[in-house]
Amino acid sequence: MTERLSTGQHRLDDVRANYETIVENIAKAAQRSGRKPEDITFLAATKTVEPEIINYAISLGLKKIGENRVQELLSKYDEYDLKNADLQFIGHLQKNKVRQIIGKVSMIQSVDSVKLAEEISKQSVKNDLVTDILVEVNIGREENKSGIMEEQADEILAEIAEFDGLRVRGLMSVPPICDSKQDILKYFDKMYRMFIDISGKKMDNISMDFLSMGMSDDYSEAILSGANMIRVGSALFGARVYR
């Protein structure tokens, strides 16, 4: 088989076929886990993808997109079709860049410290806004990954919940890359238990509406494990080309 980087119409046809497959898989996994397809939020991870292609996916019905670099988000910002989709931030966020995205994104999924939440609060209040956030959990306890440790969750959530200008809407995680589906399920289960646990505590200013986990290789498993938001990149847009 020859490798071909599809361009033009081929590229769009691929995206359409991929989109339909993912939507079908979401529906199946939702039903198998006793939920409705519309209970699951499909967010497309759009790093390295040109706005033209992103907007094509939006024209197919995609409602959420997520970028993970501030610079890239800003450079593409004017071109996204944000009348028909909503833009979130899903990557590691430095405190000094918060200011640049407040008001541009409907949710920041990757809040991994009280300090970062404090800055989101400060910039949101300054702009008379309330920003939705998810707290990112480093469920695999990986050294090079962002996210809070499981055992810190109660304390950190309680501190973050005190801030004005933000609303905690749930948890997000990027589990370790695993060789087997069995291994990834362990992490998904842990996240789901945490999500349910925290929901049960009914903490002020914290609503556990979203459990964001599952990517191209494992989104069905994530949904079966209780995720209600998945973040899918390459399964929709094809392998990423870094320029």
- Asked if 70 is part of the footprint of ligand PLP (rule: CB under 6 A), the reply reads no
145 sits near ligand PLP (criterion: CB under 6 A)? no
Q: Are 62 and 42 in contact (CB under 8 A)?
A: yes
Q: Taking CB under 6 A as the rule, does residue 211 contact ligand PLP?
A: no
Nearest to ligand PLP of 70, 174 (CB atom): 174
Q: Are strands 229-232 and 41-45 parallel, antiparallel or unpaired?
A: parallel
**Minimum CB–partner distance for residue 115 and ligand PLP (Å):** 20
Q: Counting every residue, how long is the chain?
A: 243
Q: Is residue 45 at the binding interface for ligand PLP, with CB under 6 A as the rule?
A: yes
Distances (CA, A) of 43 to 48, 84, 121, 127, 161: 15, 13, 24, 26, 25
The least distance separating ligand PLP from the CB of residue 22, rounded to whole angstroms, comes to 10
Tell whether residue 234 is a contact of ligand PLP (CB under 6 A): yes
Q: How far apart are CA 167 and CA 179, in angstroms?
A: 36
- Pick from 99, 215, 226, 238 the residue near ligand PLP by CB under 6 A: 215
Specify the DSSP element, H or E, that contains 168: strand 166-173
Count of residues that interact with ligand PLP, criterion CB under 6 A: 13
Report if residue 146 touches ligand PLP, rule: CB under 6 A: no
The Cα 90–Cα 94 span in angstroms is 12
Q: Which two tokens stand for residue 82?
A: 């944000």
Q: How far is CA 226 from the centre of its chain?
A: 15
Q: Is 235 in the site for ligand PLP (CB under 6 A)?
A: yes
Does 25 interact with ligand PLP (rule: CB under 6 A)?
Answer: no
90 touches ligand PLP by CB under 6 A:
yes
Give the interface with ligand PLP as residue ranges (CB under 6 A). Answer: 45, 47, 68, 90-91, 174, 215-216, 231-235
